Structure 1
Amino acid sequence: MQEITTIGLDIAKSVFQVHGIDAFGAVIVRRQLRRSQVLPFFRKLSGCVIGIEACATAHHWARELEKVGHEVRLMPPRYVKPYVKRNKNDAADAEAICEAVQRPTMRFVPIKSPEQQSVLMLHRTRQLFIRQRTALINAIRAHLAEFGIVAGIGRHGVEKLLDLITRGEDERIPPAAHACLMALAAQLAMVKRQILEADRRLLAWRRTSKTSKRLEAIPGVGPLIATALVASIPDPNVFRSGRDLSAWIGLVPKQSSTGGKERLGSITKAGNRYLRSLLVVGALSVIRRAKQLGYTRHPWLVRLMERRSVKIAAIALANKIARIAWAMMAHNESYRTPLPASA
């Protein structure tokens, strides 16, 4: 039996598919493994290249397989899909992964450490709590509106409604409805406390990360964006330039060019949706602040907003922030305020 050099591993919850080849491309092994059989199987093999799609549990298996002496490469599933021949199944997927991992132009996903995944889990948990808070507030407003009780939009309006529910003196609310509203108000208070706790934990982690603190010097970048960038990008040198990072986040325009004619459309919205939304919100805060204080520090933004809408300017500024962040992370530099252009 010849030595296996490359393996495509299709991971799942319980059943894993292995497709291994030798240096000449001949198929050596094609079999299924139960979850408990995966690590014992790979411990028996000499070091080889293992390709895995970057999906759920991929980073865990990548770390475990690297511990037993293998080189693991994670790939975006959309880059593997073209190599599936036909009749999609586990065996065909593993073969496609094995084929894709050998391509010299393939792009790979850096393996995240447990600490980085923990920080991202904090971000996702906080985002889940925020969505629950919004749903609870909308439910309270909608239920009270059925009894003719309406408050103004924003935080003060919600606080007015919660105060009315707590006092329980409004005769328009029947007792059964008041009990339901009290339960919703208690749930809302608990979710708010959980959001504050998640913020506290993120700030505590941010104090231990030098890179995160350096990124906060960029206009529009606060602790939330800085910690998300550091946790999402284990190795910035995986990207050749800041534009590659912006493309990964989905902040560059789509291209549909042919016959020498270049056509650019809206942004791709590919890649990391959470980072993209954070960067756009940060860019909007810079624009809002610039409107209040004047555009003296942002002449580039002034010229852009003279010919484009606020939303387009925010996307362009978010793209610029991502490029600056890549340069600072890749070269280990601090933020330098751009010098004004000479007359």
Structure 2
Amino acid sequence: MQSTANLPVIGLDLAKSVFQLHIVDVETGEIQRRQIKRAKLTEFFAKCPPSLVAMEACGTAHHWARAIGALGHRVKLLPGQHVKAFLLRDKTDAMDAQAIWVAAQQPHIKPVPVKTERQQTCMALHGMRRQLMKIRIMQTNALRGILAEFGITLPVGHVQLLKTIQGELAKAQQADLLSTDLVVSVQEQLKRIDALQEDIDHLGQRLRAMIREDRQMQAIQQIPGVGDLTASALVGSVGDFTTFRSGRQFASWVGLVPRQVGTGGKTQQLGISKRGDTYLRTLLIAGARSVIARTERSSWISRLLERCHYNVVVVALANKMARTAWAVLAKGATFDHVKWNSTESVNA
């Protein structure tokens, strides 16, 4: 295949029905702006000579990247926030395609790796699970609020609420605090919550089945604080970890490194950048909290807690987990518990 530098560039603005193309003739410099309907897009690229097709990374971008790449083209997915800097004047489909065409030729913009169907399936399961979790939390909070209006206080947390609510309902009925209609409605709500929990459990089982078939997910599960959700989400989101030059670059992509503000030769470090994938960062930080909450802590964590705020230590450990995951998957090395603990001693 030709090198990217010698390929003509096509800026493609994705849409639901009508796609916008921006093409500049290499020899004449003539600018072509054209619209193509969704049904004709594959046919167009099948007849088009090998090109570098640039698109913004969005919901349907990975599907079209695989389809266009299978036709012999090179595909480059660009982060939307970086393309926006090259948008001139009013935002239209034609201007968007032109901005994509310009951004595709900037060497400093790091492209987004194209996800495989398996990766997308994994992240789709995570997305469904997150949505069901939010709905379950909304329904349990609604129950807690409704019963609080009648003087019934329930503990915070899904598990504790379900353990105590039946007993509290029985006491309230004996004390004639709740009407029969309200009790029946609450019981129906509890059935819906149980059904949601069953759906969440089924999705968890499917994710665990994917882990059993994926060596990369199994490899990073050995890292302290990396469980089923974190391991599957890391591999599903990133796939090829060699696209990052170092563990620090990967941790920066996740948003677990300090922001820097510099002027006049003076650089100031602020809080973490919180850039990149919010879901991955949340999972890593939750895993780090679970490690720190254990009764048996490593000397490195104990010493950090003596001189740093608790949340700072959590982020530091999450950063280390991200770097270690990169080292295991990018270098193909097996996680070494002895080296992990010895590194903690040195860093302490």
Q: Secondary structure at the match of 1:257?
A: strand
Instruction: Work out which of the residue numbers 201, 225, 242 in structure 2 matches 1:196.
Output: 201
With over 3 angstroms needed to count, the CA separation of the structure-2 counterparts of 1:163 and 1:201, relative to structure 1, is farther
Equivalence for 1:98: 101
With over 3 angstroms needed to count, the CA separation of the structure-2 counterparts of 1:74 and 1:178, relative to structure 1, is same
With over 3 angstroms needed to count, the CA separation of the structure-2 counterparts of 1:24 and 1:336, relative to structure 1, is farther
Instruction: Work out which of the residue numbers 39, 42, 46 in structure 1 matches 2:42.
Output: 39
Equivalence for 2:266: 261
User: Residue 82 in 1 paired to residue 77 in 2?
Assistant: no
Structure 2: runs of 5+ lacking an equivalent: 1-5
Provide the TM-score with structure 1 as the length reference. 0.93
**Cα distance, 1:12 vs structure 2:** 1.1
**Partner Cα distance (1:117, 1:157) in 2:** 34
User: Residue 145 in 1 paired to residue 148 in 2?
Assistant: yes
- Are the equivalent residues in 1 in contact too, given 2:258–2:271 (CA < 8 A)? yes
Equivalence for 1:300: 300
Q: Secondary structure at the match of 1:329?
A: helix
**Partner Cα distance (2:28, 2:59) in 1:** 28
User: Residue 160 in 1 paired to residue 170 in 2?
Assistant: no
**Amino acid aligned to 1:150:** T
User: Residue 322 in 1 paired to residue 309 in 2?
Assistant: no
With over 3 angstroms needed to count, the CA separation of the structure-2 counterparts of 1:342 and 1:281, relative to structure 1, is closer
**Partner Cα distance (1:207, 1:224) in 2:** 13
- Deviations 1:117-146 (Å, cap 9, x if unpaired)? 001111111111111111111111111112
**Partner Cα distance (1:166, 1:117) in 2:** 46
- Are the equivalent residues in 1 in contact too, given 2:7–2:52 (CA < 8 A)? no
- Are the equivalent residues in 2 in contact too, given 1:4–1:20 (CA < 8 A)? no
Structure 1: runs of 5+ lacking an equivalent: none
- Are the equivalent residues in 1 in contact too, given 2:230–2:280 (CA < 8 A)? yes
**Amino acid aligned to 1:90:** D
User: Residue 239 in 1 paired to residue 244 in 2?
Assistant: yes
Q: Secondary structure at the match of 1:81?
A: helix
With over 3 angstroms needed to count, the CA separation of the structure-2 counterparts of 1:25 and 1:130, relative to structure 1, is farther
Equivalence for 2:312: 312
RMSD of aligned Cα (Å): 2.1
Q: Secondary structure at the match of 1:213?
A: helix
Equivalence for 2:72: 69
Q: Secondary structure at the match of 1:263?
A: strand
With over 3 angstroms needed to count, the CA separation of the structure-2 counterparts of 1:319 and 1:47, relative to structure 1, is same
- Deviations 1:169-200 (Å, cap 9, x if unpaired)? 44322133223212211110101111111111
The within-5 A match list for 1:110-121 is 110-121=113-124
With over 3 angstroms needed to count, the CA separation of the structure-2 counterparts of 1:157 and 1:185, relative to structure 1, is closer
The within-5 A match list for 1:214-229 is 214-229=219-234
Equivalence for 2:15: 12
**Amino acid aligned to 1:15:** V
- Deviations 1:193-251 (Å, cap 9, x if unpaired)? 11111111111110001111110111111111111111111211111111111111111
Provide the TM-score with structure 2 as the length reference. 0.91
**Partner Cα distance (1:162, 1:108) in 2:** 53
- Deviations 1:33-74 (Å, cap 9, x if unpaired)? 111121111111011000000011000110111111111100
**Partner Cα distance (2:170, 2:218) in 1:** 41
Instruction: Work out which of the residue numbers 40, 51, 64 in structure 1 matches 2:54.
Output: 51
**Cα distance, 1:82 vs structure 2:** 1.0
**Amino acid aligned to 1:44:** K
**Amino acid aligned to 1:29:** Q
Equivalence for 2:112: 109
- Are the equivalent residues in 2 in contact too, given 1:165–1:182 (CA < 8 A)? no
**Partner Cα distance (2:14, 2:244) in 1:** 26
